Amino acid sequence: MGATNTTHYSDLDNKLAAFCKALAHPARVAILKHVAKVGSCICNEIVDELPLAQPTISQHLRELKSLGLIKGSVEGVSICYCINKEVWDEYQTLFNNLFSDLKPAGNCC
Amino acid sequence: MGATNTTHYSDLDNKLAAFCKALAHPARVAILKHVAKVGSCICNEIVDELPLAQPTISQHLRELKSLGLIKGSVEGVSICYCINKEVWDEYQTLFNNLFSDLKPAGNCC
DNA sequence: CTCCCATATTGCAATATTACGATAAATTTA
DNA sequence: TAAATTTATCGTAATATTGCAATATGGGAG
């Protein structure tokens, strides 16, 4: 075990869970916020910004990139990362729907 | 390692990450939706609903409960679970703020 | 009190995640 | 070409997560 069996759940539930998994580490939340704050682009400023070694940052960036939450393009020696707006719009809709589904339930106990 | 070091991140980032961690499994997303759909209350209907054994469901419920996302109260022999609306309101605000922070960044690359 | 039912806890095995040092790959500069 | 810089990948250790069988716990029913 230790492996999540995704085959029995709806595509939507799996997608929401995968998105949340990508945000389920404070370093990745901080990376996203930093990328957004600096605005256009960055590179290994993140390594200076966060208390993690360069390979660890690279690993977190890969997870975010694999879900499409950020994009990276080669910019000379370094790499430019930025928020992938379209993908975020999609997940925001998913999340709004989740909140809509859950909130009307209200408090029974 | 394998342990996330939360001490170097902001309380907000840690809180968001902890919330996402709770939703980072499709079974827990499905449990929340089921609890909300059935509305008032449930018990081990979840065990019949999902392809997981009773101890596994109980474990997922504990994770959701420990973050305050659901409440449980004894109802005779069984236990009544429901959505904790106040807590969800709080996280919805957190999430809306996150989306607001990230989206204006737009696409640079 | 005893049995039964629903839920929780424990213990364990398999796998995933986190983190980093060492190193590779790619590109710019000298 | 060679050295320097930036990022990615590999290998590995420590810890966390997932899942279940077995068992414990806490109430109601008889």
Domain A14-99, classified CATH 1.10.10.10, yes or no:
yes
Q: Which residues of B touch A41 (CB under 8 A)?
A: 108-109
Q: Are residues B30 and A10 in contact, defined by beta-carbon separation less than 8 angstroms?
A: yes
The answer regarding whether domain B16-98 maps to CATH 3.90.180.10 reads no
Query: Which chain A residues in 4-33 lie under 8 Å from chain B, judged by CB atoms?
Result: 4-6, 8-10, 13-14, 16-17, 20-30, 32-33
Q: Are strands B70-75 and A78-83 parallel, antiparallel or unpaired?
A: unpaired
Domain boundaries, chain B: 16-98
How many Å lie between the alpha carbon of B80 and the closest alpha carbon of chain A? Answer: 7
pLDDT, tens digit, 9 for 90 and up, residues B6-18: 878 999 999 999 9
Identify the residue among B1, B11, B21, B29 best suited for mutation to test binding to A, counting A beta carbons within 10 A and taking the highest: B29
What is the H or E stretch that residue B2 is in? Answer: none
Core vs surface per residue A91-106: b (16+ CB within 10 A) or e: bbeebeebbeebeebe
Question: Residue A17 CA to nucleotide C5 C1', Å?
Answer: 33
pLDDT at residue A57 in the model: 96
Smallest CA-to-CA distance from A38 within B101, B95, B12, B100 is with B101
Per-residue pLDDT of chain A (109 residues; tens, 9 = 90+): 768 888 789 999 999 999 999 999 999 999 999 999 886 567 689 999 999 999 999 999 999 999 999 998 888 888 989 999 999 999 999 999 999 998 765 556 6
Cβ B20 vs Cβ A67: under 8 Å = no
